[in-house]
Amino acid sequence: MPNRARVTIRDVAERVGVHPSTVSRVLNPATRGRITSEIVEKVTAAAAELGYRPNQAARGLRTNRTRSIGVLIPDITNPLFPPIIRGIEDALGANGYSAILGNTDNIPSREREAVATMRSRQIDGLILATARRDDPIVAECIADGLPLVLVNRTADADGVSSIVNDDALGIALAVRHLKSLGHTRIAHIAGPRSLSTGEARRRSFLEVMEAEGLDADPALIAETTAFSEDEGLLAAAQLIAGGLRFTAIVAANDLIALGAYEALADADLKCPDDVSVTGFNDMPFVDRLSPPLTTVRIPHYELGREAGRRLVDLIENPNTPARATMLRPDLIVRGSTVKV
């Protein structure tokens, strides 16, 4: 009956009649070999019997390793993040690490505060899904030598590990798909330029249009200040109001595409008959929209899992050089894109 009174390593030691340090060595796989197998068995049995559970706070105090990791995300209710978090957790859990989560709503002061409390909790490393291209937290971690991995978004700073998807390829897939359907006048609703995803997708859009011999009219690129439905609606409405002809919209992500759906409906334009739309992310349920959204699927779960693995690697092999990894996205063709 492991009751309220905590059972410590000393209790186990007394029960067996050995010194606490011996118990410690038995319980640590790395040092177990140094102890007589008879004692190992007795100690293991006693530990199980008493319901001994190592006190991580004490261990962490001594070893400076807590096996807990801070994970900062903008907002868990954004459907983009749960699979990423799940991937992170699974990878961390498999290696004996736990995640401490923090939502920051993209507010810098909350990010700072969250990092402060996490560091106070002696986290062994940090995973950021909140990085801006120019991010003081990234700089701080690098300066302090705190193991850090960026996921989904990356930063401009070098020497930082990141797991992101190949934004350029994703946009290329979307643009080429539209071209193959006969579209030539293609608009882009870009994400915030302060985020790597916004900037990379925008740049890729221009490059691919050029490379495909379609001219990318700068007036057909609309700007947003956030990857949100509202912003997508606004930007699409502006595009429509601009009066320039276009037959397709490449939205910088699915939420923006949703906003575009609304703007089109508001302007009595039909999707896909009048305007084809592509998204980015393949959020849950976009296959159920009407029309089902053609979008770029990014491997969210794998993104998170790789981030978790990379961080563990970084922690356990401190001189691993930083590496930026890109995962391959896929184009998922659905009903929101048709021949022109």
Partner DNA sequence: ATGTTATGTGCAATCGTTTGCACGATTGTT
Partner DNA sequence: AACAATCGTGCAAACGATTGCACATAACAT
Binding site for DNA (CB under 7 A): 6, 8-10, 17-22, 24-25, 27-28, 31, 33-36, 38-39, 52-55, 58-59, 61-64
**Residue 225 — φ and ψ, nearest 5°?**
-105, 0
Which residues inside 38-77 make contact with its own copies, applying CB under 8 A?
53-58, 60-61, 66, 68, 75-77
Instruction: Find how far residue 156's CA is from the centre of its chain.
Output: 17
Q: How far is the CB of 272 from its own copies (least distance, A)?
A: 15
With beta carbons less than 8 A apart as the criterion, state whether 249 and 187 touch.
yes
Element at 25 (helix H, strand E): helix 20-27
User: Which of 8, 35, 40, 82: binder of its own copies (CB under 8 A)?
Assistant: 82
* By CB under 8 A, residue 143 contacts its own copies: yes
At 241 the three-state DSSP class reads helix
User: Which of 7, 43, 99, 256: binder of its own copies (CB under 8 A)?
Assistant: 99
Task: Identify the residue whose tokens are 């505060």.
Answer: 113
**Residue 328 site contact among DNA, its own copies, none (CB < 5 to 8 Å, cut-off depends on kind):** none
* By CB under 8 A, residue 273 contacts its own copies: no
Q: How far is the CB of 65 from its own copies (least distance, A)?
A: 10
With beta carbons less than 8 A apart as the criterion, state whether 26 and 44 touch.
yes
Q: How many residues does the chain have?
A: 340
Cα gap 122→117, rounded to integer Å: 9
Whether the ω angle into residue 272 lies within 30 degrees of 0, i.e. cis, is yes
CB atoms within 10 A of CB 7: 18
Contact letters for its own copies, residues 153-192 (x by CB under 8 A): ----------------------------------------
Contact letters for its own copies, residues 297-336 (x by CB under 8 A): ----------------------------------------
Amino acid identity for residue 189 in this structure = I
With beta carbons less than 8 A apart as the criterion, state whether 67 and 36 touch.
no
Amino acid identity for residue 289 in this structure = L
With beta carbons less than 8 A apart as the criterion, state whether 135 and 156 touch.
no
Smaller CB distance to DNA: residue 14 or 302? 14
At 279, list the tokens. 């998204």
User: Which of 50, 101, 157, 206: binder of its own copies (CB under 8 A)?
Assistant: 101
With CB under 8 A as the rule, give the number of residues binding its own copies. Answer: 48
At 188, list the tokens. 């882009």
* By CB under 8 A, residue 284 contacts its own copies: yes
Smaller CB distance to its own copies: residue 271 or 289? 289
Which residues inside 104-133 make contact with its own copies, applying CB under 8 A?
116-122
Smaller CB distance to DNA: residue 19 or 339? 19
Smaller CB distance to its own copies: residue 52 or 205? 52
User: Which of 42, 46, 47, 83: binder of its own copies (CB under 8 A)?
Assistant: 83
Give the largest Cα separation in the chain, rounded: 87
E-assigned strands of 15-107? 68-73, 98-103
* By CB under 8 A, residue 245 contacts its own copies: no
Q: For strand 221-222 and strand 276-281, is the pairing parallel, antiparallel, or unpaired?
A: unpaired
Binding site for its own copies (CB under 8 A): 1-4, 53-58, 60-61, 66, 68, 75-77, 79, 81-83, 85-86, 89-90, 93, 96, 98-103, 116-122, 143-145, 284-285, 288-290
